[in-house]
Structure 1
Amino acid sequence: MTGRRRPFPAPARVLPDEDAADLLELTREIGEAELAPRAAEAEERAATAHEYPRDTYRLLGKSGLLGLPYPEELGGGGRPYTVYLQVVEELARSWASIAMGVSVHVLACNAVATAGTREQQERWLPDLLGGELLAGYCLSEHESGSDAAAMRTRAERSGEGAEAGYRLHGTKAWITHGGMGDVYTVFARTSPRPESGQGPSGSGISAFLVPGDAPGLSAAAPERKMGFDASRTSQVLLDDVRVGADRLLGAEGDGFTIAKRALDAGRLGIAAVAVGVAQAALEDAVAYAKDRRQFGRAIIDNQGLGWLLADMATAVTASRALYLEAARLLDAGDEPDRVRATASMAKTFCTDSAVRVTTDAVQVLGGAGYVRDHRAERLMREAKLLQIVEGTNQVQRVVVAGALARS
């Protein structure tokens, strides 16, 4: 611990012990020394030359930051989500694409960690949590984004005895690490979707851990996005991809339950990314407003602008408190409906707030905020995506309303 005191509005952290404080300090040091200086140039190169910062994930894995919420006996850090998510926030404050990639990687590991057999966990988790293997999460499809139960990707049984396995066919869309993943957690139908009223719509879906170099698996060209260029997104194509029966995670038909359980934590990951982005925008806006002088005084001393900054700081602080409350419920093993609803509240509130805060940061910087010499415009573009990924904010409101109706 360096004991450095960061100026207001530095985030007030919830740290249960000295080890957690040291972990956050390590994350901050990595972010400020290794991530922030590279971010702007790497985003530009990713947009034009499709370069990918794969080395960064190895660094984070070696630093112990890729397996924090998983048990130590599985190779993880054994830390609660309240600590892990603050790490994600700190990473996002320096480079949002990397924080997004970490959140998705941890999400993709969830099926192995929670539904895999002991043999599967011992075989794959050490390299996944240590950063040697990078994982993607293949749930969404073009026709089944928010309605994941409507997926069409299928997995058919093949072979017998030692040759028993599955053949996967379909196309997954909007896949983070698409084309760069060493493995993918893929969800596919092992039985047809039931007719309306004949059973749960998510039944018949199973989860598989598919090697990234499996014959028949390929990735389309990276999507040309508004932001997050260094977080590669593409379709993943499955053309008669054959995997052994040992690649099935959990029992056949358990995939939708596995996916929903992971998404509760994944949505909190996005909430933490949003708070990190908003925190960075707030810090930049405050620093600029203190330095910029008009009419003989710093512009922060003008009430109209000072109040705008005050609202931004309030939104960031409230967002952090909400995602930490949702994480506390998750760590405590609270009832699933309450955890899911609170995670959806946090994802919605934090990402909506990030859009407002980053937009206001651009306004504070004026013309300077609209050019790429300052990161404010990139943060504004990045915040918008966070309202969409891991289930749009409109879908999150449906989840919350449903929980209210059942209460």
Structure 2
Amino acid sequence: MDLELSTREKELAAKGRAFCDEVLLPLELITDEHGELPMEKRAAVRQAVRDWGLAGINHAKEHGGLGLSMVEQTAIEEQLGRVTNGLWSCVWRAPVSLKSGSPAQIDQYLRPSIQGERRGCFAITEAEAGSDPRRVKTKAIRKNGQWLLSGEKWFVTSYNASDFIIVHAHVDDDPDKPTLFLVDKPVANMVHLRSPKFMHNFAFDHAELRFEETPVPEDRMLGQVGQGLELTKDWFVEARMQIASHTLGAAIRAAEIANDYATTRHQFERPIRDFQGVEFMLADMAVEIFAAKSMLYRVAAEIDRGLDRKVVHAHASALKLFCSEVAGRVIDRALQVLGGRGYMRENPVERLYRDIRVDRIWEGTSEIQRVVVGGQIRKRGLDIYSGWQ
């Protein structure tokens, strides 16, 4: 069993770290002060992604992407996770569901999204529908040669950085017909209700939208009627891998800062790391990072070798649960080591503390991941997690 990253994978990790350090980290404070990445900074960052050769990291070469393996993508994403305020989202990932589009949709949406000429956001969550997508009330009715969408969506991340929306709706108001639709901006009868403020600041907004019989051409249905949930599950697996990578990167940065501080901060004429209370916190942080990193790259490698899709979904849920909760504990301990300095907004650990909390909520709460894991154990046995697949 070879657990060593290849030379290529190490090079990609180094590129991801350099891009994070040189392009994204200098934008942290201004993004935190403004609540978002200022509009006048966005074009330059977008061009930097292209210049650094990071456009299209999650898509095949046949569509204009880089054709990276999941391990290679993970090596980059882990490093991007070190940045605060969600600035990792500046390195766009064209929605994976677009791969299932028609040839025309691939040309009109996927290819330009890979190059950063277009950007899509995803609208699924609603007031009464989060973990249970069958409770979605947004409906799609076919009338006079087009679709009419009606409903309200919450938490549409990166809405103000996107020019189209992938909307999850039920055809004929039937929960057995979940379907995705491509909605170009601007569009008639769609209202941007607001973009509320959250605990974290983020590169882009998280909007609330209302569709009032919003017209969508027939050829803007993505996939088939009733296929929406399956396409969404593919997106969830990718999103959970991305969250696991980012939370690991965030935890490592916090631990590095705490470790350095524990060495240079002196009390009672010696470094505070000499006190067992601090040293044990550093040790616990290191062990949890070690476990999370091992788990992350194992699951990435499983995807690359073509592990059964259902098993991958099961492992991705366990991974997202573990990494997001590890990051919460590591960053909390790092802040404790830093003391009052860790509580200052100018300190990256304070921002990481706010940033990381959402990772136990979005793209499936920790509780939902436990439901998935428990269900998989009942269905397939404990070996799905305790054995080798």
TM-score by length of 2: 0.91
State the SS of the aligned residue for 2:216: strand
**Contact 1:31/1:90, CA 8 A, preserved across alignment:** yes
Q: Which residue of structure 1 aligns with residue 383 of structure 2?
A: none
Superposition map of 1:291-330 within 5 A = 291-330=264-303
Q: Which residue of structure 2 aligns with residue 89 of structure 1?
A: 78
Which ranges in structure 2 are unaligned for 5 or more consecutive residues? 381-389
Q: Which amino acid aligns with 1:203?
A: D
State the SS of the aligned residue for 2:131: coil
- Aligned counterparts of 2:302 and 2:370: Cα–Cα separation in 1: 19
1:279, CA displacement in angstroms?
1.2
1:87, CA displacement in angstroms?
1.3
- Aligned counterparts of 2:126 and 2:302: Cα–Cα separation in 1: 30
Q: 1:217 aligns with which of 169, 190, 209?
A: 190
Is 1:397 the counterpart of 2:370? The answer is yes
% same residue: 30
**Contact 1:288/1:365, CA 8 A, preserved across alignment:** yes
Is 1:172 the counterpart of 2:174? The answer is no
Q: How many residues end up aligned between the 2 structures? A: 377
Q: Which residue of structure 1 aligns with residue 105 of structure 2?
A: 120
Q: Which residue of structure 2 aligns with residue 54 of structure 1?
A: 42
State the SS of the aligned residue for 2:81: helix
1:401, CA displacement in angstroms?
0.6
RMSD: 2.0
- Runs of at least 4 residues off by over 6 Å: none
Superposition map of 1:123-134 within 5 A = 123-134=108-119
**Contact 1:45/1:51, CA 8 A, preserved across alignment:** no
Deviations for 1:187-210, whole angstroms, at most 9, x for unmatched residues?
Answer: 1111333xxxxxxxx520111121
- Aligned counterparts of 2:234 and 2:54: Cα–Cα separation in 1: 21
**Contact 2:161/2:204, CA 8 A, preserved across alignment:** no
State the SS of the aligned residue for 1:94: coil
Deviations for 1:313-355, whole angstroms, at most 9, x for unmatched residues?
Answer: 1112211221222222222221222111110111010010111
**Contact 1:337/1:403, CA 8 A, preserved across alignment:** no
Q: Which residue of structure 2 aligns with residue 23 of structure 1?
A: 12
Q: Which amino acid aligns with 2:376?
A: A
Q: Which amino acid aligns with 1:393?
A: S
Which ranges in structure 1 are unaligned for 5 or more consecutive residues? 1-12, 194-201
State the SS of the aligned residue for 2:35: helix
Q: Which amino acid aligns with 1:83?
A: E
Is 1:75 the counterpart of 2:78? The answer is no
Q: Which residue of structure 2 aligns with residue 153 of structure 1?
A: 138
1:299, CA displacement in angstroms?
1.2
Is 1:384 the counterpart of 2:369? The answer is no
**Contact 1:52/1:230, CA 8 A, preserved across alignment:** no
Is 1:142 the counterpart of 2:122? The answer is no
174-183 or 53-62: which moved more? 53-62
- Aligned counterparts of 1:21 and 1:62: Cα–Cα separation in 2: 20
Is 1:258 the counterpart of 2:231? The answer is yes
Distance 1:138 1:90, change over 3 A: same
1:154, CA displacement in angstroms?
1.0
**Contact 1:187/1:208, CA 8 A, preserved across alignment:** yes
State the SS of the aligned residue for 1:338: helix
Superposition map of 1:4-19 within 5 A = 15-18=5-8
Q: 2:217 aligns with which of 234, 239, 244?
A: 244
